Amino acid sequence: MGKRVAIVGVADRIGKIQDNNVFGLFSDLLIEATKDAGLRRDDIDGIIATQSLVFKHSRLSTVLAEYAGIRNYKWADSVNLGAQSHGTMISRAASAIKEGLADTIVIASVDFQLTGLTRDLAVKGMADIRHPEFERPYGLFMPAIMALKARKYLHFYNASPDIYPHVAVTMRKHASLKKDNVMYRDPITVEDVLKSKKIAEPLHLLDCAPIVDGGAVLIMTSEEKARNLKKKPVLYLGGGENYSHDNFIQDPDLLSTPIKCSVDRAFNRVDIKKSDVDILFIHDAFTPVVIFALEDFGLCERGAAGNFVKDGNIEINGAIPVNTNGGLLSQGHPGIPGGLLHVVEAIRQLRGECGPGQVHEAKVAASIHFGGPLSMASTSLWGVSL
């Protein structure tokens, strides 16, 4: 199997974070993650980071390292693939360690979209990445794009519109079990979702993840080194990526996503099966993505995920718990860093650290990240005692 790598330290923070910035939050999370791992800052010899929409810099990883006092390290990288970046960052960091380019790498993603951007700047940020001729002038930003795909799904499979609210209700149940790092934990009903403000038919306000400040830091090292550290190591088993298109106008049929190919490519590289997965994490910026991903993962037939969710299968005690942290829909969505929060929760679940929200005897987890107008995706696989 060759050299394996593991996550040995994690830290995250979510909320309305005032009197701080990208650099300060990264430094705070780095301190927490190194303590979690039982490492020192000087043990770190590599860093990889996503971009920030608030502090725009093409070399953000090296700027963050400089601010945090990391010096003379061996390897650095910055990834600019939006919310899909996290699967790519994880695989690049793992490859660097396996190749001997670095021993211990920080994986980081932080931003301040709630307090660091005005509404106008946030809308401009969404507009700037859409096609200037065929998308931007017509308001084809992410809520509208997701609404079009969601409507096509309902029409094609003759599905009830209440399948999406059931996802939001389940995420809120999970969030209610968390003590901190969660924005919304009060229970909601399907009726609450359907009565909330319409954003883009059929999506309502509670179908869309609320924007927050925050981010996460992970520390990855070799399995050999991980065995001698403070916490139970969680192994990165492998991953897969798929890129379909970039502009929404190139979407082939509104029903397909790149998730299935990324899932298949991930499992083609490992010795485990989909049925071995105990917990699934899905980048739930909008409720329909969870429906799409459940089917693309192979848990349901096409058009059947709505009933799968309604029957309680994705709840913590269900057949395949999904987003046990409450997901971006209830924990909160810091934008690009959102997917890394799911990885942090996956690590804590496999360590057995999630208290009332702990999945019994969880040993394998999968995290699915998507970016663009649901045009690119990555799947990462995690395990212990394998």
pLDDT in tens, 211-270: 999 999 999 999 999 999 989 899 999 999 999 998 888 888 999 999 999 999 999 999
Report the predicted TM-score, pTM, of the whole model to 2 decimal places. 0.95
Closest alpha carbon to 351 in 315, 317, 310, 382: 382
Q: Residues 5-116+210-383: name the CATH superfamily.
A: Thiolase/Chalcone synthase (3.40.47.10)
Pairing relationship of beta strands 5-15 and 213-222 according to DSSP bridges: antiparallel
Single out the residue of 184, 202, 231 nearest to residue 352, CA to CA: 231
Q: Which conformational region is residue 346 in: left (phi greater than 0), alpha (psi within -120 to 50 degrees), or beta?
A: alpha
Is the predicted pLDDT of residue 176 greater than 60, yes or no?
yes
Q: How confident is the model at residue 2 (pLDDT cuts 50, 70, 90)?
A: low
């309502």: which residue's tokens?
A: 204
Look up residue 322 and give its DSSP letter: B
Mean pLDDT (the chain, rounded):
93
214 phi-psi bin (left φ>0, alpha ψ -120 to 50, beta other)? left
Decide if pLDDT at 60 tops 80. yes
Residue 322 has which token pair? 């999904």
Which whole number is the average pLDDT over 199-212?
96
pLDDT at 298 over 60: yes
d(CA 307, CA 158): 13
pLDDT of the residue at 240: 97
For helices 142-157 and 287-297, angle between their N-to-C axes, nearest 10 degrees:
50
Tokens of 134: 């065929």
Measured distance CA(344)–CA(350) in Å, rounded? 10
Across 65-101, b (16+ Cβ under 10 Å) vs e yields beebebeebebbbbbebbbbbbbbbbbbbbebbeeee
Looking at per-residue pLDDT, the higher value among 116 and 182 belongs to 182
Using omega within 30 degrees of 0 as the cis cutoff, is the peptide bond preceding 202 cis? yes
Backbone Cα Rg of the chain? 19
pLDDT at res. 385: 67
